[in-house]
Structure formats: structure tokens, C-alpha cells
Amino acid sequence: MSPFEYAPAPESRAVVDIASSYGLFIGGEFVEATGGTPFKTVNPATEEVLAEVSEATDDDVDTAVRAARTAYTRVWSRMSGADRGKYLFRIARILQERAREFAVLETLDNGKPIKEARDVDLPLAAAHFFYHAGWADKLDHASLGPDPRPLGVVGQVIPWNFPLLMLSWKIAPALACGNTVVLKPAETTPLTALLFADVCRQADLPPGVVNIVTGAGATGQAIVDHPGIDKLAFTGSTAVGKMIARSIAGTRKKATLELGGKAANIIFDDAPIDQAVEGIVNGIFFNQGHVCCAGSRILVQENIAEELDHRLKRRLATLRVGDPMDKNTDVGAINSRKQLERIEEMVAVGEAEGAERWDSGCDLPTNGFWFRPTVFSGVSQTHRIAQEEIFGPVVSVLTFRTPAEAVAKANNTPYGLSAGIWTEKGSRILWMADQLRAGVVWANTFNKFDPSSPFGGYKESGYGREGGRHGLEAYVTTGGRG
Amino acid sequence: MAPSERARDLLGVSRLTNSALSSWLHGLPGVDQVGCEERAASLATRSIKTTSKAWAIDTAISMIDLTTLEGADTPGRVRGLATKALVPDPSDPSTPRPAAICVYGDMVAVAKETLGSADIKVAAVATAFPSGRASLPVKLADTKDAVAAGADEIDMVIDRGAFLAGDYLTVFRQIADVKAVCGDARLKVILETGELVTYDNVRRASWLSMLAGGDFIKTSTGKVSPAATLPVTLVMLEAVRDWRDTTGDMVGVKPAGGIRTSKDAIRFLVTVNEVAGEEWLDNHWFRFGASSLLNDLLLQRQRLRTGAYSGADYIADDSPSLY
């Protein structure tokens, strides 16, 4: 035991006020659901029930879409871009002012470490509103085409890994472009979206511009199928993304899908090795590996594989796994029992396939959902753990011999969301980035996000881009009217 | 084993040449500046509270090389500093003492006399500190003087000019020669990282100093800004960690200059803990070169004891600035 044991440094939860139950946010106010079965959202670190949340029925979704349509035709689409921008700036500032409250609530509902909610999720969420607020009155100058106009009512379905941040990625560009929104947060993490409803009221956002309906798959399907929806934006699994694409085939609905990934984090023998180790940690253990662009495959040049293995495992032994509310926690709780079971199943598959499993053996809390940071070495391209998304703190290590082989292996999955390259050779970075079929390529860093940088995938990782000027294209139509 | 013999062994050469040293040092993995600074910044966000804070404050006090290196140093000032080391906080005899007093060579005798038999080392800066711009015989004479006066530790400076000119063999020989005249005194090698500028240079200078037989690698003289930054110290801690992996030997690290607050000191201890490892959390292997840091640590220590902040007037200070 180290002489320097860090005493518990818990963030206070007094700053949040969680209601015992929540209705749906439609037309600017909370309303009761019309039937549906209320469900509970729990703190995954303790399994404590945080609140009861309504399940929106088809009728509720219909009411929400109508409210969004009314707000669109009567107010939001007629408002000047400068005025829409004012509301978005206001929301951004309120998010900054209430950042601590949101960060604590996010950690309680999601299980992510408070330091990540505080230092990543909240600053980025506010930044997305600031960034898009700036675009609202400049759409004519964004090279989107002649006369960019909003699409109408947008249905948005977001995942549980970055609840508020994904909400921001979706709502900020939609509103900036003049659309109104019906958004469904994930069923395991609805609380920050419901608190965001309060921010909309605080910002005096016209009623109906943002509507938040809670529920699980059936509610999401109701949004997808509703004829009053002009466009769908979805972030989540590839399986659900495919269902959505099937559902809207043959309709006039547009869609952007941001789906799964199996990113390669490629380490060359001339890499800055200590920073590469940090990049691997940040790539796969950030947010418990619940990151669609996570660097879940390490491709390491074979001549340094052993050294990297030694350095990586030494580093992982210092990761602090446990109470997400402790400011010193590096890896928090797995978001749900269902996800934990999925991770356990895939790890069992990896062992059965003959890969060598390692974890730090750190203590885990008794309640809640936990999984130790895990490394599989001796993984081959044909192993399922090298092909399928695990969406947890589990990394597969594969080796390569030449740059061309690294590219071939990196591209050899059905996904193409992100990739990382670690080398001191700038020319190789550019050559690799050109060859990799991935929407985002990071060089000597990983998991860096910025609202001005477009994000999205190739292949089964989805289509469309979010963020940057490119992200606006998904929320406007251009050319002649009618 | 003599440093040059061990160096030949580690490098796998029969004769130690500048080109052999260059290939070896340039073969070390590079340091990515952005990533290195990010890692340091993330270590700086650790929240050290209550019992761990108390432990860290006491440990940091015990790691201080209480320093005065001024042209205006007098026997009176050095006696005052040594007395402060003996009794850091007269209001609380349980307060740990700093590890050492660090002075110019001509003040070693005064410091030794004041400290008597107490377990506080006397460190002397030598080798034409701070610039190092003197001939090797002068540097060796400077070192011998300090050792003869009773210095327990020698803080030498490397020849940054030779290092930046790529003349690694000269730097190596000077360190090895100084080490040879140190006798039992432990040798701290000051890299003056503020003049080396890049982290790649800091890493290479660290390995070169360890190869040449330094017992400690130290960031700075305190006369050049920036002095001891957290990322620079992080790179040096990685170097001693990897050196032990390679040779089995431990080398100490001493950030010096610019560390003034308890909060800063605790960030360095967190970095030691998580990068080099707990074996370095001991004043035999880690030191702070500082003067004003001690008073802030004492202030925080009093606050932990009493629950209230006192103020500068409640911290006995026998070496305030002259200006």
C-alpha cells in the first residue's frame, strides 16, 4: 500500500435537486404522459433509484410533434437568425452558470467520473451552443448553397454515454438553423435532458421549440415513424441505426446517423511512447470506454509490442476505479446492468477465442455495475473482440509490421468512425490519414473534440457530420422554394 | 563500476565516443510536448484532502533543500537559515525538518557549525554555479573546496553550451570527473532545463547525467526562468523510472526554483507517486529546491492543526528578502 493514499474527495450532491418523478416537456411545460409505463432511472454506481420517469406513448409523441410544428411555423422559422442566436447564447451562458449542477447530475445518472463530467462534458456542451449561436445569423455565408432554409421539425434520439453533450450536439445546430426539436434522451440517462428543459424555460425559449419526451425503444420508434417529422438525427448503435434507416426508407424524411465504431489506435516504433500510453488510456478508458469513437483496438508495431505492453500495464495499475463522485476517480461505473452483461459476454468470447486477458486486479465497489480496465493481447484480426464494438473498458492489442499493413488492418472492420496515429514522423501522419477510412483521424492525441470540427463516420459508423460548418448542412435545405 | 565503464557496457561500445553517445541519446523515444503538458495538467487536478494532505505537507517539508544562493549571503543569514531548518515552527515541535540547507561553497562551514550533529544535510552548489562557464580544473577545485568544508551533497551545473552544441562527451566527462572528487558526497546534476528548452533535450540530458554517475537530476539553478515546471519534472521522473528499469539503480529528482505554494508542492508529490512510484516518496530520492515554499507549508500545516489560517506574522522567518 502506498504511503500516499488519497483520502476520499467527494463532490457534494447538495447542488442538485432531483424530483421524485418527471413528466414530459412539451410546448414549454411539463405535462403528464397519457398512459405508458413509468420507469425508474438509477445511479449505476450504487443502484439507488434517482427518479421515476414517464414513458411517452404514440399520442404523447404526436402532441410533442404538433407543439414543435406550431412553434416552427408561428415563431421559430420566422425569427431572424440574430434573434435565434440570442437564445442560443443565453442557453450557453446558463449551462456555464449551472455547470456544477449539471456535472453532478450527469455523474449521478450516468456513472461517469465527476472530473470528466466537470472538465469535458459540460465545457463542451456549452461550447456547442456558443459555436452554433454564432452561426445562426451567418448561414447565408456558410457555403451551404443558395438560400439555406430550415427543414422543419427534427426528431432526435440520443445515447446514454454523453447525455447532455449529445443533446447539445443535436439541439444547438438544429435550433441555429431554424428547426424545432422533439428529443428523446436514453432511458437510462434522462435526467440532464429533463434539467435542460428548465434551462429552456430560464432562457425564455419560445414554447415548443424544444420538446423532450422520455421512454425507451418504442418511444424512439414513435418519433421515427411520425409523419410530422421532417428529419431524424440519431446517435447510438449500428443495429438501431439500421432499423431507423429501414423505417424511413421511401419517405421524405432525411436522416443523419452517428453509429458504432472500432477505432484503431496505431502506435509506430518512433512514437513518443509515454504520450502514446496516455493516448491509449484516454482512447479506451475515458468514460469507461463508453465512447463510439473509442480507440478499442491498439495496433502496435511488432518490434515495440513487448515494451508497450509493459508500459501500458504499469500505467493501468495507477488508474483509480470507483466512486464516480470522488474527484480523484479516473474510471467510473458501467452505465447499466445490461451494458455490463454485454461487456462480460464479449470478454468471455475473447478468452474463448484464445486471446490473453489482463486486468489490474483493483478493488471494485460491492454495489453498482463495475468492470476493471482490461487488456487483451495476442489478438488477431479474425477474433470477434477485434471486430465487434464492446463499448466498455476493454482494449484489444494487435500488431503490424509496416505502415501499409497497419492501414489494411485499421480499415478491415465494418466501421469507420475514428483512428489514431502515433509517430514522430509528420509525413507518415499525412500519408496514413489519407489512407484511413475513418471520419476522424487524430495524430499524437486521441478523443479530442471541438464544436468547430466535424464528426461522423464512414461505412457502418453512419452518415452525416455533426459540428463545424459541415454539421449545418444536415439541418438546412437549399435551392428554390417549393 | 566507474561511470565510463558502465556507459561502455550500456551502450555496447568498446570506446566511449561522442558519436556513440549521440546515437544512444537520440535513440531515446521523443516527448510530445502537447501530450506531456496535458498529462501534467491532469495530474495537477488531483484533489488531496484531509489525512492525505497532512501527510503530503509533512513529507514535502522533509524534502526541502532550504536554499539561499545570493551574492549578499552573509554568515548571519546562513546561520538564520540553518536555525530555521532546526526549528521550522517554534509553535509546534512536531514539525518535520527540511532535508538540507543549500548554500554556496564558502558558506558550507557556517551552515555545518550551526546545524551541529542534527540530521540535516548541507548541500553546496559548485562548478561555477550558475552558468558553469569555467574550465574543468576550476570546476573541480570548486567542488573539492566544498567537499573539504564538509558538504554532504554537491549541486553541480552541466555545461549547457556543450550540450546544445552536441558535445555530449564533454558534458559526460565533466559530470564523471566531478563525481570522482565528490567522495561520499551525493552529486546532484543541474540540467538548467530553462536553457535546454525542449522536453527532448530534458530527457536526453537526464539520461546523460545518470549515465555519467549523477545521484540526483535537478531541474534548475533558480537563476533562469522558467525553472521547475511540472511537465519538466514529469519528464525527469519518467527518466529515473526508465533508468531503474534499465539498470536496476535508483536516481533522485530535485525540482528547484519557482515552487512556492503547498498546492504546487502537492502536485509534484502526486506526480512522483503516479509516475515514478512510491519508492521515490522519500527525501533520499526526491527534493524540493526552495526558499519560500517552507513558510507556505508551515502556514497550511498550522491551518490543518487549528482549523484557521494564521498569517505571515505567525510563521517565524529568519531569512526574509533583503529587498
Question: pLDDT, tens digit, for every residue of A25-42?
Answer: 999 999 999 999 999 999
For the four alpha carbons of A166, A168, A174 and A177, in that order, the dihedral sign comes to negative
Mean pLDDT of A433-459: 97
Contacts of B274 in chain A (CB under 8 A): 318
Contacts of A318 in chain B (CB under 8 A): 274
Is the CB of B47 less than 8 angstroms away from the CB of A327? yes
Mean pLDDT of B180-184: 97
CA pair distance B255, B85, nearest whole angstrom: 19
CA pair distance A71, A89, nearest whole angstrom: 19
CATH number (domain holding residue B101): 3.20.20.70
Residue A1: pLDDT over 70: no
Is the CB of B38 less than 8 angstroms away from the CB of A2? no
Answer whether B56 touches A (CB < 8 Å): yes
Question: pLDDT, tens digit, for every residue of A74-84?
Answer: 999 999 999 99
Query: Does residue B134 belong to any structural domain of this protein?
Result: yes
Residue type, A65: V
How far CA A173 is from CA of A139, A369, B320, in Å, comes to 11, 34, 58
Identify the H or E element spanning A94.
helix A81-97
Question: pLDDT, tens digit, for every residue of A181-233?
Answer: 999 999 999 999 999 999 999 999 999 999 999 999 999 999 999 999 999 99
Give catalytic residues of B, as residue numbers.
155, 218, 254
Mean pLDDT of A44-72: 98
Q: Which of A106, A292, A293, A460 is catalytic?
A: A292
Answer whether A2 touches B (CB < 8 Å): yes
pTM: 0.96
| β-pairing verdict for A149-150 and A476-477 | antiparallel
Give me the residue label for grid cell 500519408: A431
Query: Does residue B323 belong to any structural domain of this protein?
Result: no
A187 in active site: no
Question: pLDDT, tens digit, for every residue of A293-318?
Answer: 999 999 999 999 999 999 999 999 99
CA pair distance A182, A226, nearest whole angstrom: 11
Per-domain boundaries in chain A? 21-259+460-477, 264-451
Q: Which residues between 252 and 271 in chain B have a beta carbon less than 8 angstroms from any beta carbon of chain A?
A: 269-270
How far CA A382 is from CA of A80, A355, A416, in Å, comes to 54, 11, 17
CATH superfamily membership of A264-451: Aldehyde Dehydrogenase; Chain A, domain 2 (3.40.309.10)
pLDDT at A482: 44
Residue B218: pLDDT over 60: yes
Mean pLDDT of A7-22: 97
pLDDT at B263: 98
Residue A481: pLDDT over 80: no
pLDDT at B312: 87
Query: Does residue B263 belong to any structural domain of this protein?
Result: yes
Residue B321: pLDDT over 80: no
Residues of the domain holding B76: 3-27+35-306
Question: pLDDT, tens digit, for every residue of B86-101?
Answer: 999 999 999 999 999 9
Angle between helices A99-110 and A163-176 (to 10 degrees): 130
Mean pLDDT of A146-165: 97
CA pair distance A191, A22, nearest whole angstrom: 9
Is the CB of A7 less than 8 angstroms away from the CB of B281? no
* Residue A2: pLDDT band with limits 50, 70, 90: confident
Query: Does residue B86 belong to any structural domain of this protein?
Result: yes
Query: Does residue B282 belong to any structural domain of this protein?
Result: yes
Give me the residue label for grid cell 492489442: A397
* Residue B322: pLDDT band with limits 50, 70, 90: low
Total count of domains within chain B: 1
Cross-chain CB nearest to B35 (options A4, A6, A444): A444
pLDDT at B126: 97
Give me the residue label for grid cell 478491415: A412
Query: Does residue B102 belong to any structural domain of this protein?
Result: yes
CATH number attached to the domain at A21-259+460-477: 3.40.605.10
